[in-house]
Amino acid sequence: MVRFFSIRRLDRLFPILRLAPPLLFLAVFFFYPLLRILQVSFAADGDGPWAGIGAMARQPFFWRVLWFTTWQAAASTLLTLLIGLPLAYVFARYTFRGKGLLQALLTIPFVMPTVVVAAAFTALLGERGLVNQWMQSIGGLAEPPVQIMRTVWVILLAHAFYNVSVVVRTVGTFWANLNPRWDEAAAVLGAPPLRRLWEVTLPLLLPSILAASLLVFLFCFTSFGVVLILGGLQFATLEVEIYRQAVSLFNLPMAAFLSLVQMALTFVVMFFYTRTQARASRPLEARPAQTLAHAPRSTRDRWLVGGGMTIALLLLLSPLLALAWRSVTLGDEGFSLRFYQELALNRRQSAFFVAPVFAIRNSLLFASAAMLISLALGLLSAYQLAQPQRRITTLLDPLFLLPLGTSAVTLGFGYIVALGWMRTSLWLTPIAHTLIAFPFVVRTFLPALRSLDPRLRESAAVLGASPLRVWWEVDAPLLAPAALVSAVFAFTISLGEFGATLLISRPDFPTMPMVIYRALGQPGLLNYGQALAMSTLLMAVAAGAMLVIERFRIGEASEF
């Protein structure tokens, strides 16, 4: 009797013990820094706490920054949809050779660090980029003909490059499983193809398009590295202005006010996204995708597939290939690995406190630590969320997603304000990376956990297996691929994290993205070549990680 009571008591305590680590981590390293930002924003002065907020809100530069942040995010989202929707249709309705590989390549930019994307577009479209180099050699021009760097157009292109995979995956998955009989019924009634698309297909696709649009808008709204490196401070978004006010001007009240505004707006977007994403996850009368896709049959089909693949390859591969090519051909020496060799040196004219090669070691150490911590916290959280629907589960699901709606720069600024006692600690960087990677781990592992057949566990228990043995011999083998995908996702996100790292990392302990940013901001061929070489290495790691994720991903539907 006593033993039975102890087991029952342990069963009641286990969910609490399982939730304690992630909730404590969020309380200390997420909510407390945000509360400190609120405190700084509402710091009382002689006229009361609201007077300072009102004065900052009336400044013209605030409205200029807010307007630019909003319209560039909207324009980037529209451009991403214009490119992504035709590609989503091609992948949803056709089968062709190399489709799986191209889908994996299409997803690589999503995990690509922002500094690598900026370096890739510089290598392709910059004054010393491949496009200008080719056009000057063909036309005998003295000046580079393509001058879009430091303009809003290169920002929009980079955002589309970054986020087109979100549209293809979200809308394409929905489209691939959409029952075609609605379109067939409209065709029987005499509706032409364009009218069927407008009055039948698009209304059915609207939830998934809206969900993808909100997610892309959120990513572009909080964009930092792309805007800072490609556009500069003259195109400052809220994210860039928070960094400038906190680090360059040390105007903490203004930085806190901007963080507060950004958090409020991103949480509104996240609220609508979570509502529309649930509707977009289940198509009306879904059919297996394999039964709907077919090989191109007509000339029109072949033109659609060929055109879609050409757009995908030009948009996605040209910046990445330009980056790799320029890293070994920059300068007058022809093909050379000189700039890779220079990563092991710290010459006086370079922009680094230590040899850049040490940044590789630092990034690997930080990424490994962040991966282990986020994996442990994420798996505990996922196991709790996978329990039968309870009130606490309903509350925890959006709670664990909150860090995704908070910008990395805001998070880094919160650490400056709230965790000054850890300012010189090397642990602050992997902790920040963990908070950013944690939602990805939860949302990646949770679908696999929910797909487990409970009868397997019940059968093992009936045969006398203990709970620990059931987990080890039933759960662990089936969930190992999902755990591997989650770990790789967390490792890759940490490896390329830039916004928070730029605010909290120590100058003598730089990461790979910081080395790239410093080198791109310094004059001279040596610094630029080192930036391209380091970016190529980081790109190769991110691409390899994405291929691993696609190889072991469970199911087609995914939020990321």
pLDDT digits (tens, 9 = 90+) for 431-489: 989 988 888 888 888 777 777 777 777 777 777 777 777 777 777 788 888 888 888 88
379 shares a domain with 307: no
Distance CA 327, CA 447 (A): 40
Candidate from 249-253, 280-284, 399-403 with smallest mean pLDDT: 280-284
Does the pLDDT at position 554 exceed 80?
Answer: no
402 shares a domain with 305: no
User: 480 is in which domain, residue-wise?
Assistant: 332-560
Length of the chain: 560
Residue type, 135: M
Q: pLDDT-derived band of residue 548, with 50, 70 and 90 as boundaries? A: confident
pLDDT at 374: 93
The CA distances from residue 419 to 31, 179, 432, in Å, are 12, 53, 11
Distance CA 61, CA 221 (A): 17
The CA distances from residue 525 to 331, 333, 519, in Å, are 8, 12, 10
Number of domains in the chain: 2
Contact criterion met (CB below 8 Å) for 81 and 213: yes
Does the pLDDT at position 2 exceed 50?
Answer: no
348 shares a domain with 315: no
| Inside any domain, residue 61 | no
| Inside any domain, residue 23 | no
The CA distances from residue 478 to 446, 482, 560, in Å, are 13, 8, 21
Contact criterion met (CB below 8 Å) for 422 and 49: no
As given in the structure block, the two tokens for residue 132 are 């200008």
Candidate from 59-63, 97-101, 102-106, 185-189 with smallest mean pLDDT: 185-189
CA dihedral 484, 394, 220, 372 (to 10 degrees): -30
pLDDT at 5: 41
pLDDT at 74: 93
- Give the domain CATH number at 160: 1.10.3720.10
pLDDT at 390: 61
Does the pLDDT at position 153 exceed 80?
Answer: yes
Burial (CB count <10 Å: 0-12, 13-18, 19+), residue 76: buried
494 shares a domain with 461: yes
The CA distances from residue 518 to 98, 274, 393, in Å, are 38, 37, 44
336 shares a domain with 295: no
Average pLDDT on 242-269 reads 78
Does the pLDDT at position 306 exceed 60?
Answer: yes
Neighbours of 388 (CB within 10 A): 5
Contacting residues for 397 by C-beta, under 8 A, at least 6 apart? 385
| Inside any domain, residue 170 | yes
Does the pLDDT at position 12 exceed 70?
Answer: no
Average pLDDT on 235-262 reads 79
Average pLDDT on 501-514 reads 83
pLDDT digits (tens, 9 = 90+) for 62-79: 888 889 999 999 999 999
263 shares a domain with 221: yes
Last residue of a domain, one of 280, 301, 329: 329
Candidate from 112-121, 386-395, 503-512 with smallest mean pLDDT: 386-395
Does the pLDDT at position 39 exceed 60?
Answer: yes
Neighbours of 223 (CB within 10 A): 28
| Inside any domain, residue 67 | no
Neighbours of 324 (CB within 10 A): 17
388 shares a domain with 269: no
Counting residues of the chain whose pLDDT is more than 90, the rounded percentage is: 6
| Inside any domain, residue 184 | no
pLDDT at 275: 66
| Inside any domain, residue 49 | no
Last residue of a domain, one of 281, 306, 329: 329
Does the pLDDT at position 277 exceed 80?
Answer: no
Task: Tell me the DSSP string of 45-64.
Answer: -TT-HHHHHHHHHT-HHHHH
pLDDT at 77: 94
Q: 3-state SS string over 484-520?
A: HHHHHHHHHHHHHCCHHHHHHCCCCCCCHHHHHHHHH
Helices (H) and strands (E) in the chain, counts: 27, 0
Contact criterion met (CB below 8 Å) for 528 and 536: no
Reference 269, options 93, 435, 150, 406; nearest CA is: 406
- Is the Cα dihedral 167, 169, 172, 174 positive or negative? negative
530 shares a domain with 480: yes
> In sequence order, what are the beta bridge partners of 94?
294
Average pLDDT on 267-294 reads 61
414 shares a domain with 369: yes
Mean of all residue pLDDT scores within the chain: 77
Of residues 81 and 243, the one with the higher pLDDT is 81
Does the pLDDT at position 36 exceed 50?
Answer: yes
258 shares a domain with 289: yes
| Inside any domain, residue 28 | no
Give the single-character DSSP code of 282.
S
342 shares a domain with 302: no
Candidate from 7-16, 192-201, 276-285 with smallest mean pLDDT: 7-16
319 shares a domain with 336: no
Last residue of a domain, one of 273, 307, 329: 329
Q: pLDDT-derived band of residue 7, with 50, 70 and 90 as boundaries? A: very low
| Inside any domain, residue 539 | yes
pLDDT digits (tens, 9 = 90+) for 387-431: 765 666 666 766 777 787 677 777 887 888 888 777 778 888 899
